[in-house]
């Protein structure tokens, strides 16, 4: 058991990239990553990593086999490491008390219990997963209730990387946050974790706090980001009624340095595995602490997101003469954002399901997410086709719906696409990524999001 041996339990979207970065930047540490999912571990050890993330292959290749090791040997890892990061999933609970809002902490607790069972020395245990504020307290109790006389120090070191830019975010983070108990032991442990990050992050970017502030900061950072998106999406609805242009409004608002320009892009709604789950968790916590007004305030961010997804489908139906039944609709993009194959909570899931309920035929193309799209829609009734290229998806379609902001969507030959579509040809740009004027001049009826439409139809809609 050694302080220079780091174990990470959970080799997912967070555990894999963060530990690969630590290993790459800290050659004098040995980093072990373990998971119960053997298929995932095999993929981490292969040439085809289990997640698509620009630049990640190089980081993994640099360290794998040198000081970075992926395996399913959880027990062996616990015995060897002095520092254990826990990066297991913390989904929304779908049963019992708090179902639909509270975080399901069963994976976390099981991990804590196996750490206690297999440890032979004192350890620092770090919350890398996103957890409700005060989870460290429960963890401290579970871990230190051991009868072996061992001491476990619980720290919080939440992760702020975004998918698609994980490598960049890890290499050059806005900040690294580490929360520790204010006790002597807590502060000693804190120094050891700071020392790891100091290998490549300047000290002024490493923010240290008490453990509760750190836990809560992670939840509310996601809530604040999502709140900006819901705010701007709510305004996109108003723009469509008034011929204002949400892109112009966002840009002009964002020039105010107090507001800032980031996270003001209107779209079909935010997706991803965390925003909704973390806000619902925040709502649950506020209810738990008897702060109903605060709970209702944050809950509205999620309601607005659902409204935006529904509004987009409503618009498609309305503009296509109030029916999409039997009409082929090409879905461009299924991932929840560009540069990832991740489809968790992607707006495309809900939009596809609602279109299928309306008896549309959908043809999905995504550069990286087809495999996950199939999993998301498995068991869903309706006419779904998965296509290898955008031209195939759009062939014979009445409409194209752009649901992800992939850059490659801008590069297609839209004249060719238009010529092979049914007429009138509709294009609903749910991410405002395409050149709308050009598409209109080709002949498309273009419906951007939160901007004046460019339609050849005088349909009075």
Residue 229 interacts with ligand UGA (CB under 6 A): yes or no: yes
Nearest residue (CB) to ligand UGA, 274 versus 421:
274
Residue of the chain from 17, 50, 132, 271 that contacts ligand UGA (CB under 6 A): 271
**Which one of ligand NAD, ligand UGA, none interacts with residue 409, CB within 5 to 8 A by kind?**
none
Q: Which CB sits closer to ligand UGA, 259 or 457? A: 259
Contact between 9 and ligand NAD by CB under 6 A: the answer reads yes
383-386 β-sheet, strand order: 383-386, 361-365, 328-332, 399-402, 426-429, 445-448
> Which position among 25, 101, 128, 218 bears the catalytic label?
218
Task: By CB under 6 A, name the one of 40, 93, 123, 265 that touches ligand UGA.
Answer: 265
Report phi then psi at 40, rounded to 5.
Answer: -65, -45
389 given a catalytic annotation: no
Return the bridge partners of 5, or none: 30
Point out the catalytic residue in the list 123, 274, 299, 395: 274
From 6, 7, 14, 433, residue interacting with ligand NAD (rule: CB under 6 A) = 14
Choose from ligand UGA, ligand NAD, none: what does 365 bind? Cβ within 5-8 Å by kind: none
**Nearest of 258, 285, 268 to residue 229 by alpha carbon:** 268
Bridge partners, residue 125, by sequence? 84, 154
Closest CA to 155 of 233, 237, 218, 238: 218
Q: CA-to-CA distance for 364 and 351, rounded, in angstroms?
A: 12
Does residue 337 interact with ligand UGA by CB under 6 A? yes
Shortest spacing between CB 185 and ligand UGA, in angstroms: 28
10 makes contact, choosing from ligand UGA, ligand NAD, none, with CB < 5 to 8 Å by partner type, with ligand NAD
Q: Per rule CB under 6 A, is residue 253 in the interface with ligand UGA? A: no
Active site residue 239: no
Residue with smaller CB distance to ligand UGA, 161 or 237: 161
The span of 36-44, 138-146, 267-275, 421-429 binding ligand UGA (CB under 6 A) equals 267-275
Active-site residue flag, 274: yes
d(CA 409, CA 401): 11
Among 111, 214, 222, 305, contact with ligand UGA (rule: CB under 6 A): 222
What's the start-to-end Cα distance of the chain, in Å? 70
Q: How far, in Å, CA of 19 to CA of 14, rounded?
A: 8
| Min separation Cβ 459 and ligand NAD, Å | 42
Among ligand UGA, ligand NAD, none, residue 337 binds (CB under 5-8 Å by kind): ligand UGA
> Based on CB atoms, which residue is closest to ligand UGA, 18 or 30?
18
Q: Per rule CB under 6 A, is residue 272 in the interface with ligand UGA?
A: yes
Judge contact between 5 and 38, C-beta under 8 A: no
Which of 53, 127, 153, 159 is catalytic? The answer is: 159
89 contributes a contact to ligand NAD by CB under 6 A: yes
- Binding to ligand UGA by residue 334, rule CB under 6 A? no
With CB under 6 A as the contact rule, the residue among 107, 200, 212, 263 that binds ligand UGA is 263
Interface residues for ligand UGA in 275-294 (CB under 6 A)?
A: 275
Q: Per rule CB under 6 A, is residue 270 in the interface with ligand UGA?
A: yes
Q: Which does 302 bind (CB under 5 to 8 A by kind): ligand UGA, ligand NAD, none?
A: none
Contact 89, 10 (CB under 8 A): yes
Examine residue 84 and say whether the peptide bond preceding it is cis (omega within 30 degrees of 0). Answer: no
| Choices 177-185, 195-203, 235-243, 262-270; region in contact with ligand UGA by CB under 6 A | 262-270
Measured on CA atoms in the order 22, 23, 28, 33, is the torsion positive or negative?
positive
Residues 266-325 that bind ligand NAD (CB under 6 A): 273-274
Task: Identify which of residues 262 and 388 has a Cβ nearer to ligand UGA in the complex.
Answer: 262
Instruction: Lay out the site mask for ligand NAD across 142-161 (x = CB under 6 A, - = otherwise).
Output: -----------------x-x
Establish if 334 lies at the interface with ligand NAD (CB under 6 A): no
Q: Total binding residues for ligand UGA by CB under 6 A?
A: 20
Is residue 368 at the binding interface for ligand UGA, with CB under 6 A as the rule?
no
Which residues sit at the interface with ligand UGA, rule CB under 6 A? 130, 159-163, 222, 225, 229, 263-265, 267, 270-272, 274-275, 336-337
Active site amino acids = 159, 218, 274
């Amino acid at each position: 058991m050694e302080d220079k041996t780091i174990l990470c339990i959970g080799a997912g979207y967070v555990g894999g990239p963060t530990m690969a970065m630590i290993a790459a930047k800290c050659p004098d540490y040995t980093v072990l990553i373990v998971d119960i999912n053997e298929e995932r571990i095999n993929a981490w050890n292969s040439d085809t990593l289990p997640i698509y993330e620009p630049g990640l292959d190089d980081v993994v290749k640099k360290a794998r086999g040198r000081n970075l090791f992926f395996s399913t040997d959880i027990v062996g890892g616990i015995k060897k490491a002095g520092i254990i990061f826990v990066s297991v999933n913390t989904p929304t609970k779908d049963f019992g008390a708090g179902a639909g809002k509270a975080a399901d902490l069963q994976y976390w607790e099981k991990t804590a219990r196996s750490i206690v069972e297999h440890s032979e020395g004192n350890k620092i245990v770090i919350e890398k997963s996103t957890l409700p504020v005060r989870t460290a307290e429960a963890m401290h109790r579970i871990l230190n209730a051991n009868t072996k006389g061992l001491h476990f120090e619980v720290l919080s070191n939440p992760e702020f990387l975004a998918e698609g830019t994980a490598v960049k975010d890890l290499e050059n983070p806005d900040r690294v946050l580490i929360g520790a108990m204010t006790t002597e032991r807590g502060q000693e442990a804190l120094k050891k974790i700071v020392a790891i990050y100091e290998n490549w992050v300047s000290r002024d970017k490493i923010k240290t706090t008490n453990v509760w502030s750190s836990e809560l900061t992670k939840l509310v950072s996601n809530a604040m980001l999502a709140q900006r998106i819901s705010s701007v999406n709510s305004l996109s609805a108003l723009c469509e009624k008034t011929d204002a242009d949400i892109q112009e409004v966002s840009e002009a608002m964002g020039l105010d340095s107090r507001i800032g320009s980031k996270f003001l892009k209107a779209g079909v709604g935010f997706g991803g595995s965390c925003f909704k789950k973390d806000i619902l968790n925040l709502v649950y916590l506020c209810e738990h602490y008897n702060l109903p007004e605060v709970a209702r305030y944050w809950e509205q961010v999620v309601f607005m997101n659902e409204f935006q997804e529904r509004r987009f489908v409503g618009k498609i139906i309305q503009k296509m003469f109030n029916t999409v039944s039997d009409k082929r609709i090409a879905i461009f993009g299924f991932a929840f954002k560009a540069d990832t194959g991740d489809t968790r909570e992607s707006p495309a899931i809900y939009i596809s399901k609602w279109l299928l309920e309306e008896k549309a035929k959908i043809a999905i193309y995504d550069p990286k997410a087809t495999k996950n799209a199939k999993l998301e829609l498995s068991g869903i009734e309706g006419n779904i086709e998965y296509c290898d290229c955008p031209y195939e998806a759009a062939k014979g379609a009445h409409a194209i719906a752009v649901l992800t902001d992939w850059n490659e969507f801008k590069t297609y030959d839209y004249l060719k696409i238009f010529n092979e579509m049914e007429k009138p040809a509709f294009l609903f740009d749910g991410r405002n990524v395409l050149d709308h004027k050009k598409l209109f001049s080709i002949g498309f009826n273009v419906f951007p999001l939160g901007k004046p439409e460019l339609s050849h139809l005088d349909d009075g809609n």
